[in-house]
Amino acid sequence: MNLNLIDLLKQKVTATVLEGETTYLSEKSQALSSFLPILLSIFRSKPDLIANLQSQLNPRLGDIFNVNPTLKQEFLQQVSGTVPTETIELTLNRSIAPTLGILEAEAGSSEPSAIVHLIESHWPAVFNALPHWAPVLLSALGVSTASEQSLHQAPPVDPYRVTEEKKKSGFLLPLIAFIVLAALLALIFKSCSDNQDTAPASGIPAETASSEPAKLQLSTGSTGDLTTCQLYSGNASYIDILQQQIKQIFNHNIGCGVENNTRYHSEFIDQDAIPSVLKLVKGVPNASLTWMGDQLSIVTANPTDAEQLAVKIKPLVKNMTVLTQAAAMSSASAPVDNQVAINEGNSNAEKALAAINPEQIRALDVATALNMQIINFATASAEIPEANKPILDQAAALMKRAPQVQLTVKGHTDAVGNAEANKALSQKRAQAIMDYLVKQGVDPAQLQAMGYGSEQPVADNATDKGQFKNRRIEFEVLNTETGVVREVDEQGVNKQ
């Protein structure tokens, strides 16, 4: 075929991913050039992975290396050079979705079998583009780089060379095995040495890098369906397993927002009971569950629901303390009525974002969906509630694909307290939302943060309910063609 698939991907994917970037452009481009043929090699060998990534709004590098997270770090160190590995990983994360889109377009189908056939048709070019060190990495992932002919059809045999080839194979195979074994032993030795070096002289075991317990937070809407979910763990393999279970239990295509970081423990206490507990939570309206450390907190709009859940859950989690609404409400960030509104608003926002066609992303659609959520900051805090992070993750994935989407994040407070302090706090909260979206890969040029304090109330500040409505984040769209600001609220679009 005349088309060079690798060249096409390098041209289109690199242009998409690096658009608007200003730092490490050469290094990021080189990393993409190394990654793309490796990604295609993995797709060719693992069609199921293609289907898995297609089902995700924001596929990540960790999804590809989930069987061996150590290899992911080794790969990143290989392609990062002098650039921080976190920076390169973010760039490569952003390249997976557009790569799949181009492969689907070229194959004429989204079926994994069609994509594999396309890669097979261009295999010589893909193979030639692989870095010299890639076959060893791919082999460790269980991926073969042999040609289709060698996989499915034995090549012609020269009888005069059989003996010589056997001699070569007999020499090379033990040598390769020895090299791989030596590398593994060196890695193990280094790990042991590092542990010994960091151990204190007193003989007390050194504190592990995992300083925070793994955490699972989720909530349901008025019909008991999953609305928000966030998962924190240091174990990429278990994250993948739990994600699949959550999607299956709640019949939910997106699953949880995920933070895979070594600072979190790799296991939950009583983690084998998590699927059984989630099956009990499914169908309970307006429920929130937090599984962290040795505590499991349950908050529901109806206190009776929380107590009934606790009775069923306690026998399943014998090593944990189960806190129901009565015990947990003292630390809750909002009264029950407000929590119901938050759950429903967040559910509506998630559904609206999921309904946006990735090929036809409009700024008004994104803003409308984001304004359905309620971002209920704790008093005097600019820390984004965990319940809203999965929604912002969805929005970020869309905005990265649509640079024309430009939003202003507007922070508002109630009128309680000093007006100047409130305005400063509203600016910090708006900036926190902007910073979070940028951290997820959105171009900073697409966003601006503005704080208005209590200057633009939407309800009476004399009541608790009115104050709750006034403490809000709004998203406003700027039409760059006309310069006209279009604000989106619960009633729709207002032209100014």
pLDDT in tens, 306-328: 889 999 999 999 999 998 864 34
Give the span between the Cα atoms of 254 and 377, in whole angstroms.
25
Residue 321: give its domain's CATH number: 3.40.1520.20
Which residues are CB-neighbours of 429 under 8 A, at least 6 positions away? 375, 377, 382, 411, 451, 473
Q: Which CA distances in Å does 92 have to 13, 63, 66, 427, 466?
A: 10, 12, 15, 32, 45
Say whether both 41 and 77 belong to one domain.
Answer: yes
State the angle between helix axes of 389-401 and 85-107 in degrees (0 to 180), rounded to the nearest 10: 60
Q: How would you write 97-164 as a 3-class SS string? A: HHHHHHHHHHHCCCCHHHHHHHHHHCHHHHHHHCCCCHHHHHHHCCCCCCCHHHHHCCCCCCCCCHHH
- Looking up tokens 């005349």 gives 2
Domain's final residue, options 133, 164, 195:
195
Say whether both 164 and 79 belong to one domain.
Answer: no
Candidates 241, 327, 332, 228; CA nearest to 281 is 228
Choice between 180 and 373, residue whose per-residue pLDDT is larger: 373
- Region of residue 413 (phi > 0: left; psi between -120 and 50: alpha; otherwise: beta): beta
Domain's final residue, options 331, 357, 378:
331
Tokens representing 264?
């979190």
Say whether both 325 and 359 belong to one domain.
Answer: no
Residues in the chain: 496
Candidates 233, 231, 293; CA nearest to 266 is 233
339 neighbors 286 (Cβ within 8 angstroms): yes
Candidates 477, 472, 450, 448; CA nearest to 361 is 477
Say whether both 58 and 177 belong to one domain.
Answer: no
pLDDT tens, 66-106?
877 788 888 898 898 888 888 899 999 999 999 999 999 99
Is residue 210 in a domain? no
Tokens representing 103?
């492969």
Say whether both 348 and 491 belong to one domain.
Answer: yes
Could you tell me what percent of the chain has a pLDDT over 70?
Answer: 80
- Looking up tokens 């075929």 gives 1
Would the pLDDT of 208 be above 60?
no
Domain's final residue, options 280, 301, 331:
331
Say whether both 222 and 363 belong to one domain.
Answer: no
Is residue 205 in a domain? no
Burial 339-366 (b: 16+ CB within 10 A, else e): bbbbbbbbbbbbebbeebeeeebebebb
Give the span between the Cα atoms of 76 and 331, in whole angstroms.
41
Is residue 204 in a domain? no
Is residue 83 in a domain? yes
Candidates 492, 247, 468, 476; CA nearest to 342 is 468
pLDDT of residue 179: 59
Say whether both 487 and 350 belong to one domain.
Answer: yes
pLDDT of residue 375: 92
Is residue 268 in a domain? yes
Give the span between the Cα atoms of 263 and 101, in whole angstroms.
34
Q: How would you write 271-334 as a 3-class SS string? A: HHHHHHHHHHHCCCCCEEEEEECCEEEEEECCHHHHHHHHHHHHHHCCCCEEECHHHHHHHCCC
Say whether both 141 and 169 belong to one domain.
Answer: no
Is residue 21 in a domain? yes
pLDDT tens, 244-284?
889 899 988 777 877 788 888 888 999 989 999 999 999 99
Interval 131-150 mean pLDDT: 76
Q: Which CA distances in Å does 418 have to 240, 366, 376, 424?
A: 47, 33, 20, 10
Could you tell me what percent of the chain has a pLDDT over 90?
Answer: 29
Residue 385: give its domain's CATH number: 3.30.1330.60
Mean per-residue pLDDT over the chain, rounded: 80
Say whether both 77 and 92 belong to one domain.
Answer: yes
Is residue 203 in a domain? no
268 neighbors 214 (Cβ within 8 angstroms): yes
Q: Which CA distances in Å does 64 have to 50, 107, 143, 154, 276?
A: 10, 21, 12, 30, 28
262 neighbors 210 (Cβ within 8 angstroms): yes
Strand partners of residue 337: none
Would the pLDDT of 210 be above 80?
no
Q: How confident is the model at residue 165 (pLDDT cuts 50, 70, 90)?
A: very low
Say whether both 107 and 139 belong to one domain.
Answer: yes
Say whether both 322 and 353 belong to one domain.
Answer: no
pLDDT of residue 200: 40
Dihedral of alpha carbons 464, 466, 469, 470, sign: negative
The structural domain count of the chain equals 4
Strand partners of residue 492: 489
pLDDT tens, 453-472?
999 998 888 888 888 889 99
216 neighbors 199 (Cβ within 8 angstroms): no
Would the pLDDT of 449 be above 90?
yes
Is residue 202 in a domain? no
Q: What is the extent of the structural domain holding 191?
A: 156-195
Candidates 266, 268, 329; CA nearest to 277 is 268
Say whether both 186 and 305 belong to one domain.
Answer: no
Q: Which CA distances in Å does 490 have to 115, 271, 295, 323, 487?
A: 42, 40, 37, 35, 10
